[in-house]
Amino acid sequence: MNKPLNVAARQFRLREYPLNAVNSDTWQMTSDEPTDPLAGQLLVRNRWLSVDPGMRGWITPKRSYMPPVRPGEVMRAFGVAEVVHSNAEGFKPGDVVTGFTGVQTLGLVNAQMVRKVDLRYASAQQYLSGLGMTGYTAYFGLLDVGKPQSGQTVVVSAAAGAVGSVVCQIAKIKGCRVVGIAGGKEKTHYLKETLGLDAVIDYKAGAVGDALQAAAPQGIDVYFDNVGGDILDAVLMQINHHARIVVCGGISQYIDSEQVRGPANYLQLIAQSATMQGFTMRDYMNRVPEAFMALAGWQAKGEVRFREHVLQGIESFPQAFDMLFSGANQGKLLIQLESENA
Ligand SMILES: NC(=O)c1ccc[n+]([C@@H]2O[C@H](COP(=O)([O-])OP(=O)(O)OC[C@H]3O[C@@H](n4cnc5c(N)ncnc54)[C@H](OP(=O)(O)O)[C@@H]3O)[C@@H](O)[C@H]2O)c1
């Protein structure tokens, strides 16, 4: 029996599955007293939470790469947390862990769902952004699935976002012509002036197809797709022979799970002997150290930068979630819980 903490835990639970856009009935904020961990569990205090588009899939009761969160459960989220009490071998109070720590200030987690991290090698927020799953997704998706060659043209959608911005920078390091597609002037300016992309397209300002012809005059060899929908269709019409389409995400199709639209122009895959391949980071968990070393090395040399958009406090979670779908986030969206946990 551990000494009582005398502090309430706060958490967001899934109230009900949303039919389309997440709304005020989707989440329920609750509070309870933390309990002692059972065998194999840890009681952790969250420091940082990652807010990800993939969360929309976790609250959709359909077949996916992991089971959906059930109504009443604490919402699933990646986080960085400190172990308060441990009932699992290999973990002790004070250890810092990352993994599925949930949208909660304090709570129980299954020790198998987290791994220890060392804050001497990266900050807590970097373990959730460029030096964590976000960066690894960009690294393996582009290099293993996209296989870009120097001189080829790489197009990236949601290019100013967490994954997209890292993909763009790795493609530049690999000597590619890089075209970023994003929404609005601030993001396209960031991509062109700060990240040095060769061309940018504001998809909210006009037709992507015409703009792509100008931005990728030699055609498209690799398309790193984060959005699906109309942008994917526009890209398909301009792919080169043996092009590779990396299906990382399809955020334009996440809101209404009953009306997901596939690519109308998929016959271009035949015409161009092209491939379209999906992936998740689950495929690459045994190669995480490789991605970490590469990304940390590029960051140390100033060749990649990670932009983070930080909100404060657990109550900002619903607002943060909505920002991903309106495009209001500028970089990796994180929630800092440090102050309320002090
Ligand atoms: N396969 C994997 O293992 C894996 C892992 C992580 C993430 N992902 C996927 O990667 C994608 C990017 O995730 P992230 O974490 O880096 O998020 P993010 O790009 O930082 O944020 C999402 C961005 O998507 C754009 N967006 C939203 N609705 C859109 C729409 N209807 N059409 C076009 N763009 C839209 C917005 O940017 P604009 O302002 O530019 O519209 C928004 O800022 C998501 O699809 C996510 O599901 C996949």
Q: Give yes or no for a contact between 309 and 333, defined as CB atoms under 8 angstroms apart.
A: yes
Q: Tell me, yes or no, whether 162 and 269 share the same domain.
A: yes
Domain count, the chain: 2
CA distances from 116 to 65, 77, 80, 96, 111 (A): 23, 16, 9, 6, 10
Residue 3 belongs to some domain of the structure: no
Residue 157 belongs to some domain of the structure: yes
pLDDT tens for residues 232-249?
A: 999 999 999 999 999 999
Is residue 283's pLDDT more than 50?
yes
User: Could you write out the three-class secondary structure of the chain?
Assistant: CCCCCCCCEEEEEECCCCCCCCCCCCEEEEEECCCCCCCCEEEEEEEEEECCCCHHHHCCCCCCCCCCCCCCCECCCEEEEEEEEECCCCCCCCCEEEEECCCECEEEEEHHHEEECCCCCCCCCCCCCCCCHHHHHHHHHHHHHHCCCCCCEEEEECCCCHHHHHHHHHHHHCCCEEEEEECCHHHHHHHHHHCCCCEEEECCCCCHHHHHHHHCCCCEEEEEECCCHHHHHHHHCCEEEEEEEEECCCHHHCCCCCCCCCCCCCCHHHHCCCEEEECCHHHHHHHHHHHHHHHHHHHHCCCCCCCEEEEECHHHHHHHHHHHHHCCCCCEEEEECHHHHC
Strands 9-14 and 27-32 come out as: antiparallel
Q: Tell me, yes or no, whether 24 and 103 share the same domain.
A: yes
Is residue 174's pLDDT more than 50?
yes
Q: How far apart are CA 165 and CA 138, in angstroms?
A: 9
Q: Tell me, yes or no, whether 101 and 67 share the same domain.
A: yes
pLDDT tens for residues 202-218?
A: 999 999 999 999 999 99
Strands 239-247 and 275-278 come out as: parallel
CB of 308 closer than 6 angstroms to any ligand 1 atom? no
pLDDT tens for residues 256-272?
A: 888 999 999 999 999 99
User: Which residue CA neighbors atom 32 of ligand 1 most closely?
Assistant: 252
CB of 234 closer than 6 angstroms to any ligand 1 atom? no
CATH of the domain at 140: 3.40.50.720
The pLDDT value recorded for residue 305 is 96
Q: Tell me, yes or no, whether 185 and 260 share the same domain.
A: yes
Is residue 321's pLDDT more than 50?
yes
Give residue 163 CA to ligand 1 midpoint distance, Å.
8
Give residue 8 CA to ligand 1 midpoint distance, Å.
34
Q: Between these two residues, 258 and 154, which has the higher pLDDT value?
A: 154
User: Which residue CA neighbors atom 30 of ligand 1 most closely?
Assistant: 252
The alpha carbon of residue 160 and the mean position of all alpha carbons in its chain are separated, in whole angstroms, by 12
Q: Tell me, yes or no, whether 325 and 241 share the same domain.
A: no
CATH of the domain at 93: 3.90.180.10
Structure tokens at 31: 């509070």
User: Which residue CA neighbors atom 5 of ligand 1 most closely?
Assistant: 137
Q: Tell me, yes or no, whether 83 and 117 share the same domain.
A: yes
Pocket test for ligand 1, best of 58, 144, 190, 251 (most atoms within 8 A of CB): 251
Residue 4 belongs to some domain of the structure: no
Residue 150 belongs to some domain of the structure: yes
Q: Tell me, yes or no, whether 26 and 56 share the same domain.
A: yes
Residue 1 belongs to some domain of the structure: no
The pLDDT value recorded for residue 81 is 98
Averaged pLDDT for residues 269-284: 97
Residue 155 belongs to some domain of the structure: yes
Atom of ligand 1 nearest to the CA of 249: 45
342 falls in which pLDDT band (50, 70, 90)?
Answer: very low
CB of 183 closer than 6 angstroms to any ligand 1 atom? yes
Q: Tell me, yes or no, whether 141 and 187 share the same domain.
A: yes
Q: Identify the CA nearest to 294 among candidates 176, 173, 175, 198.
A: 173
The pLDDT value recorded for residue 133 is 95
For 84, the domain range is: 9-129+306-341
Percent of the chain residues past pLDDT 90, beyond the cut: 92
Q: Tell me, yes or no, whether 141 and 40 share the same domain.
A: no
Structure tokens at 310: 């930080």
Structure tokens at 335: 């929630």
CB of 30 closer than 6 angstroms to any ligand 1 atom? no
Contacts of 63 (CB under 8 A, 6+ apart): none
CB of 251 closer than 6 angstroms to any ligand 1 atom? yes
Q: Give yes or no for a contact between 184 and 206, defined as CB atoms under 8 angstroms apart.
A: no
Residue 15 belongs to some domain of the structure: yes
Give residue 56 CA to ligand 1 midpoint distance, Å.
11
Q: How far apart are CA 146 and CA 163, in angstroms?
A: 14
Structure tokens at 18: 């949303």
Is residue 296's pLDDT more than 60?
yes
User: Which residue CA neighbors atom 22 of ligand 1 most closely?
Assistant: 324
Q: Tell me, yes or no, whether 116 and 159 share the same domain.
A: no
Residue 58 belongs to some domain of the structure: yes
Q: Tell me, yes or no, whether 145 and 247 share the same domain.
A: yes
The pLDDT value recorded for residue 7 is 81
Q: Which residue has the tokens 């990396």?
A: 246
Q: Tell me, yes or no, whether 70 and 103 share the same domain.
A: yes
- Mean pLDDT lowest among 5-9, 106-110, 170-174, 257-261: 5-9
Q: How far apart are CA 81 and CA 65, in angstroms?
A: 24
Give residue 160 CA to ligand 1 midpoint distance, Å.
9
CB of 137 closer than 6 angstroms to any ligand 1 atom? yes
